[in-house]
Structure 1
Amino acid sequence: MLTGIKAAIGRQLARYLQKQTGRYVAFSVIPHASLCAALQPGDVLLVEGDRRISSAIKYLTRSTWSHAAFFAGGEAGRELIEADLQEGVRAVPLSTYDHLNTRICRPVGLSGPDLARVIAYMRDSLGKSYDLRNVLDLLRYLLPEPPVPHRWRRRMLALGSGDPTRAICSTLIAQAFQSVRYPILPEIRADASGAATREILHIRHYSLFTPRDFDISPYFRIVKPTIEDGFDYRQLEWTHDDPVASPAGGLSGPGRQPADLSPPSRPS
């Protein structure tokens, strides 16, 4: 009886946390065609979410990014695999995040066989659902900015051992890369042996990883679709001809507008 009540409360909390806030501002959305052309299987797509839970995760991680999805290719090459709080591990089309700010993080030097294993790990996880009875794991996200000191915020994300923790802390993707011992942000400990001191990489527990870690990892390359195929600022189309630069470096004059930063179309 008590278990059923906890699960019902957990589902209600999950639905509440997954609702959009209505205050989201998209400042640098990558055009869908450019995102499609740039993504490669194995890439991690970071997302600045627009849901209630996103605000808390961004605050606790001190980061723009609140969600991570794995690009597996799939049908027509457009499949993202992600862990969703309500629906569990699922595959979604790339268009799901067309309206949000995103960033591509690409593992560097991952071998073909290991890439295949990482993709297989993610695909084998499809359909897994999350037990939402651990209500305490969800309550931490009800406050967009919980009054927690900086040094404790990351640990607050890793508190608890229930499925809600594993569903939202990028842990599935971290587990997939750790299955082939590909580093994200390992601990580095000095080991004195003889006259030489060498560094040993220690893989952190997967429950401690957040979307931000793929962004700052020294082993993932940041891929920006707008400049991957060549970028020439002289091809930008400004709202007005011959804009006059102000002393502060901006544009002066009435009605000045920023440039359209979409990549220039290629001649057919």
Structure 2
Amino acid sequence: MGWMFDNLERLIARLQKPANRCQPLTSDDATTALRHTLQPGDVLLVEGKGRISSSIKYITQSTWSHSALYVGPISGATNGGEPHVLIEANIDEGVVSAPLSKYLHCQTRICRPVGLTDADREQVCRYAFERIGLGYDFKNVIDLMRYLFPCPFTHRRRRRTIALGSGDSRRIICSSLIAQAFDAVRYPVLPNITHIENKSGRCEIAEIRHSSLYAPRDFDLSPYFMVVKPTLPAGFNYKNMRWADLQVDAAQATLAPEIERGIAAMVQPDIP
């Protein structure tokens, strides 16, 4: 079966190449704000443009096809003088570090774990860092697509599913890597909740889902992660927005006196 997954790996890598360039909705100021807003432990969700990314977005019914963990500058890891600050698992390279500029031209979202202690935040980042060099689990991607897409699985079989992927500890996907890092400190993402009745009343018991069942969207859906908009913490004033139609009106107002003088000069009779 190994040769089959090797061929499938090469096929997926070709399909992952972007179909078109990412077009950001935000300005250069927002890009600067993104750099200043990210904190270690934040999850950066990315709207990829590759064909595989489009499939993931369609099947998960989400904008996000990729996730990366922000850990801050990594000593000795740079790209053209820019430090690597992200750890991610991607199809081409497996688990690697990357600079933030890699995603500055893509739509992104920051998901921040609420109440995470400094010690646990450091442990989450260290967990991800120690997994640099692992391979990418292509079978987990395929299984996840089958799991999320309703046709191949009946509801009964989906409920019985406890893990996806190859089962190889040396291979992992992006969302699983980050889920495992938070599992290491018992921080919830989207745990399974069981309601239990006892003498003292009704209580909830949380059970950690297997990391292979996570998709990038789950960090966005999680009630324990806060969505952070980079343009807002620095102070946003809508009165400072420069609107295109108002700029045209202002330019026309500036030119109006000159136009009137020109017309007056043209119609003024010559006086001998």
Work out whether 1:54 is the aligned partner of 2:53. Answer: yes
Please give the residue correspondences for 1:77-96 in structure 2 after superposition, counting only pairs within 5 Å. 79-96=85-102
Work out whether 1:104 is the aligned partner of 2:110. Answer: yes
Kept in 2, the 8 Å contact 1:72–1:79? The answer is yes
In structure 2, C-alpha distance between the alignment counterparts of 1:94 and 1:105, rounded to whole Å: 15
User: Identity of aligned pairs, percent?
Assistant: 44
Which residue of structure 1 aligns with residue 44 of structure 2?
45
Which residue of structure 1 aligns with residue 25 of structure 2?
27
SS at match of 2:45: strand
Kept in 1, the 8 Å contact 2:182–2:188? The answer is yes
Which residue of structure 1 aligns with residue 166 of structure 2?
162
Cα RMSD of the aligned pairs, angstroms, is 3.4
Kept in 2, the 8 Å contact 1:105–1:220? The answer is yes
In structure 2, C-alpha distance between the alignment counterparts of 1:7 and 1:92, rounded to whole Å: 26
How far apart are residue 27 of structure 1 and its match?
A: 3.5
In structure 2, C-alpha distance between the alignment counterparts of 1:14 and 1:22, rounded to whole Å: 17
How far apart are residue 46 of structure 1 and its match?
A: 0.3
Structure 1 runs of 4+ with >3 Å offset = 23-31, 75-78, 136-141, 146-152, 157-160, 166-169
Kept in 2, the 8 Å contact 1:89–1:125? The answer is yes
Distance 1:191 1:117, change over 3 A: same
In structure 1, C-alpha distance between the alignment counterparts of 2:163 and 2:209, rounded to whole Å: 15
AA aligned opposite 1:32: T
AA aligned opposite 1:200: I
SS at match of 1:34: helix
Work out whether 1:235 is the aligned partner of 2:240. Answer: yes
Q: How many equivalent pairs are there?
A: 235
AA aligned opposite 1:22: N
In structure 2, C-alpha distance between the alignment counterparts of 1:218 and 1:115, rounded to whole Å: 18
Deviations 1:77-130 (A, max 9, x none): 751100011211000100001111000000011111111111110000011123
SS at match of 2:39: coil
- TM-score after normalising by structure 1: 0.76
Which residue of structure 1 aligns with residue 123 of structure 2?
117
Distance 1:16 1:140, change over 3 A: farther
In structure 2, C-alpha distance between the alignment counterparts of 1:92 and 1:104, rounded to whole Å: 16
Kept in 2, the 8 Å contact 1:61–1:212? The answer is yes
How far apart are residue 14 of structure 1 and its match?
A: 2.8
In structure 2, C-alpha distance between the alignment counterparts of 1:24 and 1:102, rounded to whole Å: 11
Please give the residue correspondences for 1:125-204 in structure 2 after superposition, counting only pairs within 5 Å. 125-130=131-136, 138=142, 148=151, 160-162=164-166, 167-168=172-173, 170-204=175-209
Q: Which moved more, 1:182-191 or 1:15-24?
A: 15-24
Contiguous gaps of at least 5 residues in structure 1: 245-268
In structure 1, C-alpha distance between the alignment counterparts of 2:162 and 2:13, rounded to whole Å: 21
Distance 1:210 1:151, change over 3 A: farther
Kept in 2, the 8 Å contact 1:29–1:98? The answer is no
Q: Which moved more, 1:198-207 or 1:24-33?
A: 24-33
More helix, by proportion:
2
Kept in 2, the 8 Å contact 1:130–1:163? The answer is no
Kept in 2, the 8 Å contact 1:36–1:78? The answer is no
SS at match of 2:209: coil
Which residue of structure 2 aligns with residue 9 of structure 1?
7
